[in-house]
Amino acid sequence: MRSIYRSPEGEAELMSLYDEALARLGPGCETRTIGTVAGLTHVIVAGPEDAPPLVVLQGGNFLNPLCLAWFLPLANEYRLYAPDIIGQPGRSAQSRPSARGDGHARWLVDVLDGLGLGLASFVGISYGAGLILRLAGLAPGRIDRAVLVSPAGVAAGPIRPMLRQVALPMLLYRASPNPERLLRAACPILTEPEEPYVRQLGAVYRHVRLDRQLPRAATKEELSGYGSPTLLFAAQDDLFFPAERTIPRAREIISNLEAETLPGRHVPSNETFARVNDRAAAFLKPG
């Protein structure tokens, strides 16, 4: 299997950034490694041991501990389990299941089994939220409640703006990296282009063979057996999955849905994440 990294030096740089981000999460986090059908999976764990389980799934082409930082306030009330998604930059196996099949969903079933979780709630952003929908189609009984933020797998935005505002700046930055080009590539994605997120995005663009397959769009038929309460947030100015397309489509395919529009781009601001976490913490409580 070909490495997802363009060079050993690039992989080493990303693993250094990973460890920096993990350290910033604080001493309350621990890690473990479990076996799955797709290979070894690295999991970050945080929160009280006796709290209800909550699985947190990262965005594509983002390091897991950086994504977990957005949702870390939920560790006050939940036991968070954040697996590094296979095939994404991180410390899990590099295998990339085809987006046409259910490989990621089967991997998630193995993750739950390896963690001893028969049933869990989920929070996912972007790519990770799309994988929750894949799991909802394959094994809906494993999901108690779900929170989807800027989700893949529902509806996509127009291609031309994505190519012009995201893909082209990324390619220009990769061809000739400099801070100005990196910021131009990051701003269409991040509402607040903060240093650690911009820096890791630049490292991913330079050193990773990007996964160009998003989780495929879920259908009403696939989700016919899924009735768990689901809270969806879609951003108004998200180039990838805009609220004006995502929310109407989600209402067609997800039966037990609450949906809200967020301000900003694909990755919300810190202020908006605080609102998302408050809303999610209340929503995830049973009853």
Q: Measuring CA to CA, which residue among 157, 170, 167 is closest to residue 237?
A: 157
Would you state the pLDDT for residue 287?
61
> How many residues are present in the chain?
287
Neighbours of 208 (CB within 10 A): 18
Helices 179-186, 168-175: axis angle to 10 degrees equals: 160
CA-based torsion, 150, 154, 155, 160: positive or negative? positive
Which residue in this structure is represented by tokens 């899924």? Answer: 226
Of 101, 82, 99, 79, the closest CA to residue 91 belongs to 82
CA 10 to chain centre: 22
In degrees and rounded to multiples of 5, residue 83 shows phi and psi of -80, 140
Cα distances (angstroms) measured from residue 207 to each of 7, 186, 211, 240: 7, 16, 12, 22
The tens-digit pLDDT sequence of the chain (287 residues) is: 789 999 999 999 999 999 999 999 999 999 999 999 999 999 999 999 999 999 999 999 999 999 999 999 999 999 999 999 999 999 999 999 987 789 999 999 999 999 999 999 999 999 999 999 999 999 999 999 999 999 999 999 999 999 999 999 999 999 999 999 999 999 999 999 999 999 999 999 999 999 888 898 999 999 999 999 999 999 999 999 999 999 999 999 999 999 999 999 999 999 999 999 999 999 999 76
Q: What is the model's pTM?
A: 0.97
Structural domain boundaries in the chain? 8-283
CB atoms within 10 A of CB 8: 10
Looking at the domain 8-283, which fold is it? Rossmann fold (3.40.50)
Which residues share a beta bridge with 235? 262
The C-alpha R_g of the chain, in whole angstroms, comes to 18
Rounded to the nearest 5°, which phi and psi values hold at 180? -65, -45
Q: Residue 225 region, left (φ>0) first, then alpha (ψ -120 to 50), else beta?
A: alpha
